[in-house]
Every structure is written in C-alpha cells, then in structure tokens.
C-alpha cells in the first residue's frame, strides 16, 4: 500500500506543472492533440474560488496524484484529476476525489461538476461509484462527441 498525504499546492509550482504535463500526455495518447484545450489559469485554483490538491508519497515526497476545483457559479468544477500509473489501484484517486469534495464544500459549493471523456473508463468507473450522475454537458467540450459530464451534490 502506497502511503501518501494530500495537501494544497499552487498550480504553478514546478513539481505540479510536471505532474499536469504528464496528465496532458496521458490525455493526448487517448484523444490526440494536446489532450485538453480547456483554458485554465493558476489563479483559477486560489481560495476561496478554488483549490488544487496533490497526493505526496510519504518517504520520498514524490507527487503521485492531483485534482483541483474552480468555482463555476455555486458549483465546483473538477479539473486535472490524475494519478500516476505507479500509484493506480491503491485508493489514491478515491481519496483525492473526497478531498476535493470536502474542500469545495468548505468553500460553500453545493455540488461538484466535471467533464470527462469516453476513453477514460477508469475515471468514469470512479465517478459513478462515488455517486456522480450524468448531467447535460456544460463546459469547454459541451457538444463534442465522446464528452460525458457528471455532477454530485456535496
């Protein structure tokens, strides 16, 4: 079992930038292009209108997962949820998702919303098992083929 701690981080920290780049490479392999062209800025994840969380492996301090949220009206929009392959299957993503929900709830958001794609079956399985339900597409990729949008009241 990988031991890790979850902490808030700045989206523009060098280690976070590298982890997000790995996330984009993973998405690019699945979908082509850059992986995700959704406009995002580091300021999107600053409290009280957002938060960016990372899972840090105990012992060596390596970042193994990330997930952030940014305010979207009264909702929190989940962004950049990613776990390194070496840490998958160990509950890291589920704990990250719960931490995002708690952070968003503490900031006064009423639900978490997200966009994902049909080429991410492991993400879809996680969201559905955590109580997320399909909603009308809403974000940057609304109306694009293969886009799946979800929400969960928190």
Low-confidence residues in the chain, pLDDT < 70: 1-2
CB atoms within 10 A of CB 35: 17
Residue 66 and residue 95 in contact, taking contact as beta carbons nearer than 8 Å: no
Q: Which fold has domain 4-153?
A: Aminopeptidase (3.40.630)
DSSP code at position 38: -
pTM of the model: 0.94
Q: How high is the pLDDT of residue 98?
A: 98
Bridge partner residues of 149 (DSSP): 115, 135
Helices and strands in the chain: count of H runs, count of E runs: 3, 7
Please say whether the beta carbons of 4 and 57 come within 8 A: yes
Task: Give the Cα separation of 46 and 51 in Å (integer).
Answer: 6
pLDDT at position 1: 53
Q: Which of 94, 97, 79 is CA-nearest to residue 40?
A: 79
Residue 140: predicted pLDDT: 87
What are the domain boundaries of the chain? Answer: 4-153
């Amino acid at each position: 079992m990988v031991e890790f701690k979850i902490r808030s981080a700045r989206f523009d920290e060098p280690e976070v930038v590298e982890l997000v780049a790995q996330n984009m490479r993973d998405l690019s392999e699945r979908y082509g292009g850059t992986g995700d062209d959704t406009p995002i800025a580091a300021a999107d994840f600053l409290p009280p209108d957002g938060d960016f969380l990372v899972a840090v492996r105990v012992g060596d301090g390596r970042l193994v997962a990330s997930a952030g949220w940014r305010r979207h009206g009264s909702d929190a929009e989940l962004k950049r949820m990613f776990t390194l392959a070496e840490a998958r299957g160990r509950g890291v993503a589920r704990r990250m998702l719960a931490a995002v929900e708690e952070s968003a709830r503490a900031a006064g958001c009423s639900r978490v919303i997200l966009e994902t794609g049909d080429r991410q079956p492991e993400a879809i399985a996680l969201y559905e098992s955590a109580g997320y339900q399909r909603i009308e597409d809403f974000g940057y990729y609304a109306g694009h083929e293969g886009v799946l949008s979800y929400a969960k009241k928190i």
